[in-house]
Amino acid sequence: MYYGAYVLDKIAKEIGRRLGLSLRQVRFFCNWEVKDALLKDKYDANKLNERYNFSLIYTDSVHRPVVYIGKAAQEFLDRSTFVEQKVKKVEKLFGICASPGRAKGRVSIIETVDDLKKMKKGDVMLSETTYPALVPAMKLASAIVTNVGGLTCHAAIVSRELKIPCVVGTKIATKVLRDGDLVEVDATRGIVKKI
């Protein structure tokens, strides 16, 4: 992965040298624009600068990329449903079973290494996602619940190794549950319920 990034950086620098653009500008080319820029000298440096200031690429329903720049990008975000909305009160969450089993316990939201000190043995660990530095908290957990992830994510693999129930991909667990809430995790069915 790192070698690939290294090579791409070298290629981007060479494209910039040939076109008289900065590396920053080259990084804001869409992949389908590079060929025309190199072969036909067809590109708009001002548009690349605008993309740097504020832009997004969205893949539509038929997997075509659409580029929004500046005000159009902000308007798209404002009307989009995937931008975080205020979450209503939820009693039951659904996700993917990453490691089967059942557990009850108090919620402990662990997002960073600084949060490790609040984790107690038997707590249900909640996190957006997990990574190796959070393993000490995972070892204390009676169950693990994450907002994101699938069967091969870090939380899933570690929970199976530790034989701890785990539900991943709930999307909103850390947004609707708080530290100290009592929950029941039925990981086999992918359900987390506030009790």
121 — phi, psi (to 5°)?
-60, 130
Residue 169 vs residues 52, 58, 151: alpha-carbon distances, Å: 32, 22, 10
Beta bridge partners of 186: 102, 191
* Residue 20 per-residue DSSP state: T
Query: CB 30: neighbour CB atoms within 10 A?
Result: 10
Per this entry, what is the length of the chain? Answer: 195
The residues that are catalytic are 154
Query: What percent of the chain is helix, strand and coil (3-state, nearest 5)?
Result: 40, 25, 35
Query: CB 137: neighbour CB atoms within 10 A?
Result: 22
